């Protein structure tokens, strides 16, 4: 059962999908060096503008959200369920130039 979910959405994802997926794979590999149980369990492309990931740990979901924000800007929202040890991280960015906004 996943302990984290990461949702990547917006126009920027559509135009930079390869770069974003590359970053996610590299960040997950680095996380696995610290914790071998930290893995991406599954990838699901929803249409052309949203990608959903399931992770084995809450921390990996948080780490991926932070890495996306640091590399590409946009906005990250973190939602935690402490009873279930579950993290939901949503990163979004519109297709504007620059790293600051989540605009259209």
pLDDT in tens, 51-86: 999 999 999 999 999 999 999 999 999 999 978 789
Closest to 101 measured CA to CA, from 11, 6, 21: 11
pLDDT in tens, 3-60: 999 999 999 999 999 999 999 999 999 999 999 999 999 999 998 889 999 999 999 9
Which distant-in-sequence residues (6+ apart) come within 8 Å of 90 by Cβ? 6, 7, 9, 65, 76, 77, 79
| Chain Cα centroid distance, residue 64 | 5
Q: Output the pTM of the full model.
A: 0.89
């Amino acid at each position: 059962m996943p302990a984290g979910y990461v949702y990547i959405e917006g126009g920027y994802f559509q135009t930079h999908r390869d770069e974003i997926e590359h970053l996610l794979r590299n960040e997950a590999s680095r996380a696995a060096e610290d914790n071998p149980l930290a893995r991406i369990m599954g990838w699901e492309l929803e249409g052309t503008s949203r990608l959903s990931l399931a992770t084995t740990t809450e921390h990996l979901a948080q780490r991926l959200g932070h890495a996306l924000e640091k590399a590409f800007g946009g906005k990250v929202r973190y939602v935690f369920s402490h009873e279930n040890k579950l993290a939901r991280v949503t990163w979004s960015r519109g297709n504007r130039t620059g790293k600051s906004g989540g605009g259209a």
